[in-house]
Amino acid sequence: MRPGRVGGLGTAVIAISLSLGLSAEAQAGPGIDGTRNLSMGNATRGSATGTSAAIINPAGLSYSRQFAIEPVYQYDVQTRTHGLGAFITDSLNSPRFALGLGYIFTRGDPSLLYDGDSGEREELSMVHFGHEVGLSISVVAVPNWLYIALKPKWQYASLRYLDDDGVARDFNRKLNTFGLDAAVALNFRDFVHLSVVGYNLIGPNDPAWTEDEPVELENVSAADDLNANPEGLRRIADYPRSLGHGLAVFPLGRPNFSLNLDATYDFTSYWAQDKWTRITVNAGGEFVAGPVPIRVGGWWDRRGPGPDDDRGYVSAGLGYIKPAPMGGAGVDIGVGFAQQVTGGTQAKLDTVFSINIGIRLRPDI
């Protein structure tokens, strides 16, 4: 690596770290999908680059050469969850290595609905917090052919509530540990990309609740068995041990048009129910018309045993991209959303919005 570029990356890392350190509260990786990823139904493991790759597939950092600084914001309407992320990615330093540094903060305000002692439906407000700091390292094992990557990270998540005396209590055990993702990506002459990603190989956590264990609220007036009819809590683990694979096809041999098909396998969230694996099937496409990327997608989420809690989503988004000229700066702006269209037992369907405003740099060094 050349000293000038290393120094530039280090300065940017320090600047963002200091600005994030001023935040009073923060939260975890479940709050951020990435605008491009979300808009394309999270079917981007084979085509993600830059910040999108740092989130969903660290090996994708080596797919293209760029230096980017990018904040991302996401809001989940159903659980009132805010996610804020800041990322720096650099694949210009070396033809062999690419790096990405990211911090994600999430705050959620879900409500637990349950049958109270009076026989009527009761509501208990909760707070979901978390932090994640991750370093993505991608290596070009075989130029223009094979890429491998690791993403060590520190992750924290908590879910708390106030009891009848106003005392804050943990709903379940806090997560405060180191985790690890690993990825492999293949490039077939720029027409086809294949990727496999293992998530939370180290440091997974259990979901907030399961059907097999009673929900317990200490010093809160409630029914004896809250699991008889609970609603409002996230049933999926914040950091499940899981596997994802993706296929991206570029019919024109260029990244401005791609068709994507992915799938994921969650071995944690429903594993207590006879080792049930939660599966998602994701599909998405992107066409870049001049400076404007047009993105569409959707996915099917097969959750627990039986079809009652399965969900279907559609997603879409737009952006504006100005590549960085030599010695100058460019921009990468995007907006996107995902909308639940079928399934689930919630009173309202889930809606998620995301926005990113990124700066792309190309130092003339």
Which tokens sit at 259? 């068709």
Structural domain count, the chain: 1
Give the residue from 33, 32, 39, 35 showing the smallest Cα distance to 298: 39
Nearest to 242 by CA among 42, 36, 38: 42
Put residue 52 in one of left, alpha, beta given phi > 0 → left and psi -120 to 50 → alpha. alpha
pLDDT at 341: 95
Per residue in 214-251, pLDDT (tens digit) is 677 787 766 545 654 567 778 899 999 999 999 999 99
pLDDT at 214: 66
* pLDDT at residue 219, rounded to an integer: 79
CATH, residue 274: 2.40.160.40
User: What is the pLDDT of the chain when averaged over all its residues?
Assistant: 87
Give the pLDDT confidence of 147-195 residue by residue, as tens digits. 999 999 999 999 999 888 888 999 888 999 999 999 999 999 999 999 9
pLDDT band at 18 (very low <50, low <70, confident <90, very high): very low
Report pLDDT for 30.
82
Q: Mean pLDDT across the stretch 98-120?
A: 85
Q: Which long-range contacts (CB under 8 A, 24 or more apart) does 78-81 make?
A: 78/346, 78/348, 78/349, 78/350, 78/351, 79/108, 79/109, 79/110, 79/128, 79/232, 79/234, 80/108, 80/109, 80/110, 81/30, 81/31, 81/106, 81/107, 81/108, 81/109, 81/110, 81/128
pLDDT digits (tens, 9 = 90+) for 296-311: 999 999 998 888 889 9
Domain that holds residue 295: 3-361
- Which pTM does this prediction carry? 0.87
Q: Residue holding tokens 């100058």? A: 328
**β-pair partners for 68:** 89, 360
Show Cβ contacts of residue 219 under 8 Å, excluding neighbours closer than 6 positions: 163, 164, 165, 167, 169
